[in-house]
Amino acid sequence: METVTTFVTLSKSAAEKLREMAAKQAPGSQSLRVFVKSGGCRGFSYGMAFDSPQEGDQFIESEGIKILVDAESAHYLNGATVDFKDEIMGGGFSIENPNATSTCGCGQSFKAKGETGSPKSCC
């Protein structure tokens, strides 16, 4: 696995919540996978899950959390920050992405410069 020094970062609040969640995961699957897939109303959508490293993954560590990013998602996520807000309305994880040219109102879908993805119904 390739080690990258800067790529995706976590806010302190996201790292705290992820540590809580990782403690409940099976051994070996406590790394956070952050990925992009085609879909959502803007063309691309974000995903996150606890996972084990796969061939070709890039490895990042932020706030003590191991992050995995597959090669296809890498250029969409370079410089992104994962945040967490504990709020009754609109709380949860969000991704601040400098590569997004526009985002959906819910923040789960985005458009990337020069790429359309596969827009679909969102939220």
Question: What 3-state DSSP class applies to 16?
Answer: helix
3-class DSSP string for the chain:
CEECCCCCEECHHHHHHHHHHHCCCCCCCCEEEEEEEECCCCCEEEEEEEECCCCCCEEEEECCEEEEECHHHHHHHCCCEEEEECCCCCCEEEEECCCEEEECCCCCEEEECCECCCCCCCC
Q: What are the chain's domains? A: 2-112 (2.60.300.12)
In this prediction, residue 111 carries a pLDDT of 80
Percentage of the chain lying above the pLDDT 70 cut: 85
Over the chain, what is the mean pLDDT? 85
5-19, 20-34, 69-83, 89-103, range with greatest mean pLDDT: 69-83
β-bridge pairing 100-103 and 31-38: unpaired
In this prediction, residue 95 carries a pLDDT of 92
* Overall average pLDDT of the 22-48 stretch: 86
The overall pTM is greater than 0.85:
no
In this prediction, residue 4 carries a pLDDT of 47
- Which of 86-90, 93-97, 104-108 has the weakest average pLDDT? 104-108
Each residue's pLDDT tens digit, 36-93? 998 877 788 999 999 999 999 999 999 999 999 998 899 899 999 999 998 887 789 9
Quote the CA–CA distance of 3 and 93 in Å, as a whole number. 24
Q: Which of 99, 106, 64, 102 is nearest to 81 (CA)?
A: 99
Quote the CA–CA distance of 56 and 98 in Å, as a whole number. 24
